[in-house]
Structure 1
Amino acid sequence: MEMLEDGDAMVSASFVYSFESISEHWGKHPDWVQHPTVGNYRGLKRIRFYYASNETLAFAVPSFKKIMQEQNVDASFYLRDHMFHAFPVYPVCRESREAYRDILAYLRR
Structure 2
Amino acid sequence: MKTAVDVLRHGDMTVPEYMIWLQKADFTNCPKVTFIYGSDETLYACAPSLEKVMQKYGVAYELIVGDGMFHCYPAFPVVKEAKEGWDKMVDLIKGA
The interval holding the TM-score normalised by the smaller chain is 0.7 to 0.9
Of Structure 1 and Structure 2, which has the larger fraction of its residues in helix? Answer: 1
Partner residue in 2 for 1:38: 24
State the 1:60 CA deviation.
0.6
Supply the AA of the counterpart residue of 1:58. Y
Out of 53, 68, 93, the position equivalent to 1:67 is 53
Percent pairwise identity = 23
1:31-66 Cα deviation digits (max 9, x unpaired) = 221122222222222111111112111111110010
User: CA contact under 8 A between 2:66 and 2:85: conserved in structure 1?
Assistant: no
Partner residue in 2 for 1:10: none
* Structure 2 segments unaligned to the other structure (5+ residues): none
* Structure 1 segments unaligned to the other structure (5+ residues): 1-13
1:10-47 Cα deviation digits (max 9, x unpaired) = xxxx98xx223443822212222112222222222211
Supply the AA of the counterpart residue of 2:40. N
User: CA contact under 8 A between 2:40 and 2:67: conserved in structure 1?
Assistant: yes
1:19 equivalent to 2:4? Answer yes
Aligned pair in 2 of structure 1 residues 90, 42: CA closer, same or farther (>3 Å)? farther
**Higher relative contact order (Cα pairs below 8 Å, separated by 6+ residues):** 1
CA RMSD of aligned residues (A): 2.1
- 1:43-62 to 2 correspondences below 5 Å: 43-62=29-48
Tell me the TM-score normalized by structure 2.
0.82
Aligned pair in 2 of structure 1 residues 39, 95: CA closer, same or farther (>3 Å)? farther
Supply the AA of the counterpart residue of 1:44. C
